[in-house]
Amino acid sequence: MANQYPTLKIEHRGQIDILTMNRPEAMNALNKQLFSDLQNYYTSLQDNYDVRLVIMRGEGRSFCVGGDLNSSAFAEGEGREVQQYETQRQASSLIRLMRSCPQPIIALCHGPVCGGGFSLALAADVRIASTCARMNAAYIKIGLSGNDMGSGYFLPRLIGLSNASLILYTGRFVKAEQALQMGLVSDVVELEQLLESGLSLADEMLQASPLGLRLTKDAINALIDAPSLESAVAIEDRQQNLLMGTADHKEAVQAFREKRRPEYKNC
C-alpha cells in the first residue's frame, strides 16, 4: 500500500499512533505538503475509535523548525498575498483539528522547536522535552507578530501572562530545563529516552476507559474558557452521569477492587 502521507510516518502500536513528521532534510519545516498531510491525518482521527492516543515527534535533528521560508507562501512576486492567506488558513485549521481530535496528543520535543513547530507542540495535550530541546516563538524574529497558530492563546494559559509575554515579545529561546520550570513541558529526559517516556505516559493514560479519556479532553477544551464555576461543574456533572452508566465504568471499578488492569470494551 502506498504511503498515504508523503511527509509523515505513522506507526501503529496497539491503540497508540506514533506520528513522525518526516522532512529531516529540512528539519521538518512546515511546507504546504506537510500542512496538508497533518490536516488529513488529524481529520481522520475524529471518528477513529481504534486509535486512542497520538505521540507526535519529528524525524532527524529537530521536532520542527517552523514554516518553510523557501515555500511559495514566502516567495516574492505576484500572488504572494493569496499564497500566504491560504497557508495561514491551513495553519490555523491544523491547530483547531489537533485540539478537537478526541485523542490526547503527546508531543516529544527535541532539538529546535520553533515558530510553527512551537505552536504544534503547544497544541498538544502534553509535552515531553529532551535535554537538547530549545523552543521559541520565532515569528517575531522575521517581522511578524509573536502570536501565530494559537501561540497567543495557549502560552498565557500554560505558563502565565508574564512568561508568555517574554517569549512572544522577544522570540528568545527557552531551553528544556527552563521550560520545565515554567510548566511549559511536563518532563525532561535524555534524547534516547524520549520515545520510551512518551510510550510510558501513553500506557498510563490508556488505563482510563476509552470514553472517559475522550470526554476528559473534550471537557478540558470547554472548561479552560468556562465563564463560571457553575457552568464548569455542570459540564463535569453531565459527563460523570453519562460515564457511570457505561459497562466500562463497572469494569474499571471491578478491576480496581481486584487490583488488575481493566479490560475495556468501549461500551
Using the CB atoms, write b or e for 27-55: b if 16+ within 10 Å.
bbbbbbebbebbbebbebbeeeeebbbbb
pLDDT greater than 90 at residue 75: no
How many whole angstroms separate alpha carbon 187 and alpha carbon 129? Answer: 6
Cβ proximity of 125 and 106 under 8 Å: yes
* Residue range(s) in the chain whose domain bears CATH number 1.10.12: 210-258
Cell numbers for 248: 466500562
pLDDT greater than 80 at residue 74: no
Q: Which CATH class is domain 210-258?
A: mainly alpha
CATH superfamily of 8-205: 2-enoyl-CoA Hydratase; Chain A, domain 1 (3.90.226.10)
* Residue range(s) in the chain whose domain bears CATH number 3.90.226.10: 8-205
Residue 201: left (phi > 0), alpha (psi -120 to 50), or beta?
A: alpha
DSSP state letter for 31:
-
Q: What is the pLDDT of residues 171-196, one digit of tens each?
A: 999 999 999 999 999 999 999 999 99
SS3 21: strand
Cβ proximity of 120 and 92 under 8 Å: no
Taking Cα atoms as reference points, which of 109, 123, 126, 125 lies closest to residue 173? 109
- pTM assigned to the model: 0.92
Q: At 228, phi and psi to the nearest 5?
A: -160, 165
Q: What is the pLDDT of residues 149-170, one digit of tens each?
A: 999 999 999 999 999 999 999 9
